[in-house]
Amino acid sequence: DAGITQSPRYKITETGRQVTLMCHQTWSHSYMFWYRQDLGHGLRLIYYSAAADITDKGEVPDGYVVSRSKTENFPLTLESATRSQTSVYFCASSEGGPPYEQYFGPGTRLTVT
Amino acid sequence: TQLLEQSPQFLSIQEGENLTVYCNSSSVFSSLQWYRQEPGEGPVLLVTVVTGGEVKKLKRLTFQFGDARKDSSLHITAAQPGDTGLYLCAGAMITGNQFYFGTGTSLTVIP
């Protein structure tokens, strides 16, 4: 019973490189979310998805791309990484819509040098 | 500017003391949630409140949703070291599908 997993757990990349963070959930939850957590800003929503092939922007979407071809996977791609994207990234899933009771993955710590 | 402001930002208390954490906004939310996060882990949902004025209890934790659905509070009675962590409020806006987290309250309970 894996629940929700993220990979890799730690990643160091260089400015300008493309990097993809993976998120996989085994509950068949409809909704999935990507957040970044930074000191002083808390958790901020990047993108979310209500179902396969349906995605929408959150509070801070610039510089990120998502896709959801299968219900269980929700990868997040940084097309050209910048130092300001150094952060801890969390994926979450929710069985239904509002109030979006979310279950979080363990996070990916990304460092852009 | 954060949509949900929490206070205090940091709190250090002795075991056995009581405490209250506040989550405030100028916007109306359809629901508010409280999560607890420990270092190196993702947040874990504690409770969801959906009705203005609603009070929910979870053992020594009491959660309240404001009558106007703009604020919430978390009260812990007789805090224990195991309560140590980052407490986050979060909510779904009443319009649209946006979801916001609060700024967080870091609680340390000293044995």
Q: Would you list the domain boundaries of chain B?
A: 5-110
Query: Hey, of A56, A102, A103, A109, which one would you mutate to test binding to chain B, going by the most B CBs within 10 A of its CB?
Result: A102
Q: State the pLDDT at residue A1.
A: 59
Instruction: Closest CB to A42: pick one of B45, B48, B102.
Output: B102
Per residue in B72-81, pLDDT tens?
999 999 999 9
Question: pLDDT exceeding 70 applies to what percent of chain B?
Answer: 96
Pick the CATH number of B5-110 from 3.40.50.2300, 3.40.50.2000, 2.60.40.10, 3.40.640.10: 2.60.40.10
Q: State the pLDDT at residue B1.
A: 61
Q: Are B90 and B33 spatial neighbours (Cβ–Cβ below 8 Å)?
A: yes
> Which chain A residues contact residue B44 at CB under 8 A?
104
Q: State the pLDDT at residue A104.
A: 97
Stretch B11-35: mean pLDDT: 95
From B57, B87, B77, B88, select the one nearest B15 (Cα to Cα).
Answer: B77
Residue B92 confidence (pLDDT) above 90? no
Question: pLDDT exceeding 90 applies to what percent of chain B?
Answer: 86
> Which chain B residues contact residue A92 at CB under 8 A?
42
Instruction: Give residue B43's Cα distance to chain centre.
Output: 12
Q: State the pLDDT at residue B13.
A: 96
Chain B positions with Cβ closer than 8 Å to A: 2, 30-31, 33, 40-45, 48, 50, 88, 90, 92, 97-104
Q: State the pLDDT at residue A40.
A: 73
Q: Are A23 and A5 spatial neighbours (Cβ–Cβ below 8 Å)?
A: yes
| Total structural domains within chain A | 1
- Residues 6 or more apart whose CB falls under 8 angstroms from that of A93 comprise A4, A25, A27, A29, A31, A32, A33, A102, A103
Q: Which residue of B has its CA nearest to A107?
A: B42
Per residue in A69-81, pLDDT tens?
999 999 999 999 9
A74 compared with B2, residue with greater pLDDT? A74
Quote the domain boundaries for residue A56.
4-112
**Whole-angstrom distance, CA of residue B105 vs CA of residue A67:** 33
Banded pLDDT at B96 (limits 50, 70, 90): low
- CATH number, domain of A70, equals 2.60.40.10
Alpha-carbon distance B105 to nearest alpha carbon in chain A (angstroms): 10
> Which chain B residues contact residue A107 at CB under 8 A?
40-42
Residue B20 confidence (pLDDT) above 80? yes
Stretch A48-60: mean pLDDT: 93
Banded pLDDT at A32 (limits 50, 70, 90): very high
Residue A37 confidence (pLDDT) above 90? yes
